[in-house]
């Protein structure tokens, strides 16, 4: 009963160990997939970070370009105003035509309008570029935040899987240790049983040998018995023959001698049977 219980415990431990190993393999596969996703997310995060840096550089360049254009425009306006002032002064000195001041005012007005238009167009273009850059930056920031959130969630899942894997590995080690202890205990219980079995087999061989000898003796005794019964039957027939024919006794000397020879043999056979 103890051996059967130990065998059952060993089988149950083996099945539990196989089940845990299968679960461990599944967890390891899931961990590899998760690690791959983490690597991809890290790569996406790095790419987004690089894109953001590149976008920031472009924004800085656009700002610098805008400042340069504004400065150039301001310098051009100042130069133009200076030229107009110089022309106005020159006209006041050299010219006596009254229409020249009106023409200069018209030219000044046209240049002012043209400068304002160029400035407005430039500001509108850069404003549009800034809006596009802001949209792209907002999208990149959103992607970056989403990537960080996904990365954090995946790292959390990875940590959970690591804990589960460590727990399963510890359980497998405990089961393997229990299985080893059960095998040792089984061997300890099995050793005296094996010795007892060997002793019983040896005893069985001895008994079988004795039985075979006894069977052989019984066969010999049976043969002797059959011979004795045959001799007894012969004596009975002879006795019946003698009583039936009392008047004509014609036994020969040879028959009497034969009877005398059989008699000691039968007595000797009976004497051999008694000790047995």
What does the pLDDT read at residue 275? 41
Measured distance CA(183)–CA(189) in Å, rounded: 10
In order of 69, 70, 235, the CA distances from 79 in angstroms are 15, 14, 174
Q: What single string gives the DSSP state of each residue in 102-134?
A: HHHHHHHHHHHHHHHHHHHHHHHHHHHHHHHHH
Task: Tell me the torsion sign for CA atoms 109, 111, 113, 119.
Answer: negative
CB 17 within 8 A of CB 175: yes
Q: Which residues contact 128 (CB under 8 A, 6 or more apart)?
A: none
Measured distance CA(270)–CA(262) in Å, rounded: 13
Please give the DSSP secondary-structure letter assigned to residue 161: H
What does pLDDT average to over the chain?
Answer: 75
Please give the DSSP secondary-structure letter assigned to residue 246: S
Query: If you average pLDDT over residues 111-139, what whole number do you get?
Result: 77
Cα dihedral 240→245→246→251 (10° resolution): -90
pLDDT range class, residue 84, cuts 50, 70, 90: low
Q: Is the pLDDT of residue 251 over 60?
A: no
What does the pLDDT read at residue 63? 77
List pLDDT tens digits, range 220-249: 999 998 999 888 888 888 887 766 555 444
Q: Is the pLDDT of residue 257 over 80?
A: no
Query: If you average pLDDT over residues 123-150, what whole number do you get?
Result: 79
Report CA 221 to chain centroid distance, whole Å.
Answer: 74
Structure tokens at 164: 């589960």
Which of 273 and 115 is assigned the larger pLDDT?
A: 115
Query: If you average pLDDT over residues 35-47, what whole number do you get?
Result: 80
List pLDDT tens digits, range 149-165: 888 888 888 888 888 88
* Candidate from 23-37, 95-109, 241-255 with smallest mean pLDDT: 241-255
What does the pLDDT read at residue 125? 81
Q: What single string gives the DSSP state of each residue in 165-196?
A: HHHHHHHHHHHHHHHHHHHHHHHHHHHHHHHH
List pLDDT tens digits, range 160-207: 888 888 888 888 888 888 888 888 887 888 888 888 889 899 999 999
Q: Is the pLDDT of residue 3 over 70?
A: no
- Residues written for the chain: 276
| The Cα angle at residue 243 between residues 239 and 246, in degrees rounded to 5 | 130
What does the pLDDT read at residue 89? 44
Q: Is the pLDDT of residue 117 over 70?
A: yes
CB 68 within 8 A of CB 128: no
Q: Is the pLDDT of residue 269 over 60?
A: no
Closest by CA position to 227, among listed 188, 266, 186:
266
Query: If you average pLDDT over residues 61-66, what whole number do you get?
Result: 78
Q: What residue spans of the chain are helical by DSSP H?
A: 2-94, 99-244, 253-273
Measured distance CA(178)–CA(166) in Å, rounded: 18
Put simply, whether the predicted model's pTM sits higher than 0.75 gets the answer no
Please give the DSSP secondary-structure letter assigned to residue 247: S
Q: Is the pLDDT of residue 38 over 60?
A: yes
Q: Is the pLDDT of residue 12 over 60?
A: yes
Q: Is the pLDDT of residue 138 over 70?
A: yes
Query: If you average pLDDT over residues 46-72, what whole number do you get?
Result: 79
Closest by CA position to 68, among listed 199, 218, 76, 151:
76
Q: Is the pLDDT of residue 66 over 70?
A: yes
């Amino acid at each position: 009963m103890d051996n059967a219980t130990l065998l059952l415990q060993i089988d149950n431990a083996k099945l539990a160990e196989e089940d845990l190993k299968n679960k461990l393999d599944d967890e390891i596969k899931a961990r590899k997939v998760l690690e791959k996703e983490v690597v991809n997310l890290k790569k996406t995060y790095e790419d987004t970070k690089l894109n953001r840096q590149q976008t920031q550089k472009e924004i800085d360049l656009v700002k610098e370009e805008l400042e340069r254009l504004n400065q150039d425009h301001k310098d051009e306006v100042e130069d133009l105003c200076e030229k107009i002032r110089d022309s106005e002064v020159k006209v006041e000195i050299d010219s006596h035509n009254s229409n020249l001041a009106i023409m200069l005012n018209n030219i000044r007005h046209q240049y002012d309008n043209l400068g304002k238009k160029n400035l407005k167009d430039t500001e509108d273009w850069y404003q549009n570029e800034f809006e596009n850059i802001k949209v792209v930056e907002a999208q990149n920031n959103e992607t970056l935040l989403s990537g960080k959130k996904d990365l954090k969630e995946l790292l959390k899942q990875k940590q959970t899987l690591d804990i589960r894997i460590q727990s399963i590995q510890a359980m497998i080690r405990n089961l393997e240790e229990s299985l080893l202890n059960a095998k040792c205990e089984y061997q300890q219980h099995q050793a005296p049983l094996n010795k007892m079995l060997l002793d019983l087999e040896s005893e069985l061989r001895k008994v079988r040998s004795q039985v075979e000898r006894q069977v052989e003796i019984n066969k010999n005794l049976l043969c002797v018995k059959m011979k004795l019964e045959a001799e007894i039957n012969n004596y009975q027939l002879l006795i019946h023959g003698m009583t039936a024919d009392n008047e004509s006794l014609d036994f020969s000397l040879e028959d009497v001698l034969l009877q005398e020879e059989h008699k000691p043999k039968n007595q000797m056979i009976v004497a051999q049977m008694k000790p047995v």
